[in-house]
Amino acid sequence: METNAVPAAAPVLVARGLFRFRSVDGQQVPIVRDVSFELRAGEFATIMGPSGSGKSTLLHLLAGLDRPSAGDVLLAGENLGAGDEEHRAALRRRHVGFVFQFFHLLPDLTVEENVTGPLRIVGQNPNRHRGRIQNLLELLGVAKVANRLPAALSGGEMQRVSIARALATQPPLVLADEPTGNLSSKAGEEVVALLRSVCARLGAAILLVTHNPRDAAAGDRVMFLHDGALRQAAELTGGPFGVADVFRRLEELGI
């Protein structure tokens, strides 16, 4: 399986000087503050930050689900801010798969229909991708439940289905927002390990945000977000890490 082509040299994601202000009690408060970083094709990066540090707000900006107050997001070299809503939606559909904490599977559709939904949205006939989708369901260990409705799945299975859905259109980038937040620790570990191995196999880059040090430790690179700002000097590179490495860095940062 191949992902949508991205020139080898172009980062799959660039965030440049991102700010997002929100009105809180009549005051404009920065929720995301001057965030800049790049993600290379195939990289597995995590952002660790406490509850309320701005992780979801940042991911929504990166996916084009929300617009920054200042700064730019480039997906595979294309500027998300360059056009209207429709332009942003088109770039998102082409370049990004999103994995949510609460799965967001459609309850009346089977597992297979949920997974092929993004293909239909981009106007592709799922039957033409049958072998590839079957392979994806198998890689994620959910081929056996392909005809079930989401209500008949465990939490871990639901999240593995939503990873398959995120990968259905072969995006070069997967953004995951606390993907283990609603899972037992065993199911959560499985989900992160699968995300890592399946994306590596398909060549997709991952950016996973979490407040869970164990999940963060799975990254090749761990960034730290505090009060909406990245603590750039604290970034860990050369992972995956032991959870103790992440705790040590958190202690050094006092967060």
Residue 57 exposure: Cα atoms within 13 Å on the Cβ side: 23
Q: Which of Mg ion, ligand ATP, none does residue 61 bind to, with CB < 5 to 8 Å depending on kind?
A: none
> Considering Cα of 109, then 115, then 120, then 126, what sign does the dihedral take?
negative
Judge contact between 119 and 129, C-beta under 8 A: yes
Q: Which of ligand ATP, Mg ion, none does residue 51 bind to, with CB < 5 to 8 Å depending on kind?
A: ligand ATP
Closest to ligand ATP by CB, 49 or 97:
49
Radius of gyration of the chain (CA): 18
CA 39-78-45 angle, 5° bins: 15
Rounded least distance, CB 212 to ligand ATP, Å? 10
For Mg ion (CB under 5 A), the number of binding residues is 2
Closest to ligand ATP by CB, 33 or 165:
33
Closest to Mg ion by CB, 169 or 212:
212
Rounded least distance, CB 19 to ligand ATP, Å? 13
Closest to ligand ATP by CB, 52 or 77:
52
Return the biggest CA–CA distance within the chain: 54
Q: Which residues of 197-227 are buried (b: 16+ CB within 10 A; e: fewer)?
A: ebbeebbbbbbbbbbbbbbbbbbbbbbbbbe
56 binds Mg ion (CB under 5 A): yes
Closest to ligand ATP by CB, 51 or 127:
51
DSSP-derived secondary structure letter, 11 = -
List all residues 6 or more positions away from 180 whose beta carbon is below 8 Å from its beta carbon: 159, 187, 188, 189, 191, 192, 210, 212, 215
Q: Which of ligand ATP, Mg ion, none does residue 116 bind to, with CB < 5 to 8 Å depending on kind?
A: none
Rounded least distance, CB 209 to Mg ion, Å? 7
Residues lying near ligand ATP in the complex (CB under 6 A): 22, 24, 31, 49, 51-57, 211
Q: Which of ligand ATP, Mg ion, none does residue 52 bind to, with CB < 5 to 8 Å depending on kind?
A: ligand ATP
116 binds Mg ion (CB under 5 A): no
53 binds Mg ion (CB under 5 A): no
